[in-house]
């Protein structure tokens, strides 16, 4: 059996990607999903959690868009500060 997603984490993933332009959404859905699952596996976990998702977003989003990502997460009431230094 593969990696599963914590339901709250999956909801956050959907909230963020739903707020992206279609072109970016398609790319993000693939890259962020894959990276989140890799991070969970790296923790020897079978479940993707918030920390995996947030770290994946910040690792995969190009530097020019990081401040936009921070604003979007804040707007959606997703606290990312505990996972990003």
Looking only at Cα atoms, what is the longest distance across the chain? 37
Exposure pattern of 42-71 as b/e (b: 16+ CB <10 Å)?
eeebeebbbbbbbbbbbebbeeeeeeebbe
- Confidence bin at 1 (pLDDT 50/70/90): low
Domain ranges of the chain: 4-75
Question: Each residue of 25-41: pLDDT tens digit?
Answer: 999 899 999 999 999 99
- For residue 50, the model assigns a pLDDT of 97
72 contacts: CB under 8 Å, gap ≥ 6: 16, 19
Q: What global pTM score does this model have?
A: 0.92
Question: Each residue of 50-77: pLDDT tens digit?
Answer: 999 999 999 999 999 899 999 999 999 9
């Amino acid at each position: 059996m593969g990696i599963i997603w914590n339901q709250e984490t999956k909801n956050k993933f959907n909230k963020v990607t739903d707020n992206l332009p279609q072109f970016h959404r398609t790319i993000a859905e693939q890259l962020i999903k894959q990276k989140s699952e890799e991070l969970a596996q790296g923790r020897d976990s079978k479940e993707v959690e918030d920390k995996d998702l947030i770290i994946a977003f910040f690792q995969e989003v190009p530097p020019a868009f990081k401040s936009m990502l921070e604003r979007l997460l804040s707007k959606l009431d997703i606290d990312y500060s505990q996972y990003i230094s």
